Amino acid sequence: MEQKTLTPEDVSKIVDGLNPIDHKQMELLAKMPPGKRIYPSLRASAMIRAGLRTVFKRKFPDLSSSEINMKILDYLVFMDGKHVNA
């Protein structure tokens, strides 16, 4: 497969879709040991799953924990697919 070189316009289109850089956050991450830099992302992911679990338990009180977990997985896969196609 042939690789296409990006033009400055291509790069601008990509960069325009990104959130602004949080320089303070980047400094904090840079000071962390490489193996621990993933921890903030893991904590955020766990918080999102916990929030979804609470919402789904309220919305579907008759479902088991396993069924709630499957609903969470289904929702996250759906949202991931929605994000990729955006």
**One-letter identity of residue 33:** P
78 assigned to some structural domain? yes
**One-letter identity of residue 37:** R
83 assigned to some structural domain? yes
Residue 29 CB-density burial (10 A; 0-12 exposed, 13-18 middle, 19+ buried) = middle
- Tell me the per-residue pLDDT of 4-41, one tens digit each, with 9 for 90 and over: 888 888 888 887 877 888 889 889 889 999 889 888 88
Token pair for 28 = 């904090």
User: pLDDT grade, residue 1 (50/70/90)?
Assistant: low
Owning domain of residue 74: 61-86
Token pair 């309220």: residue: 58
Q: How many domains, the chain? A: 1
DSSP string for residues in 43-65: HHHHHHHHHHHHHHHHH-TTS-H
Q: Cβ(68)–Cβ(54) under 8 Å? A: no
Token pair for 30 = 């840079």
- The reported pLDDT for the residue numbered 83 is 67
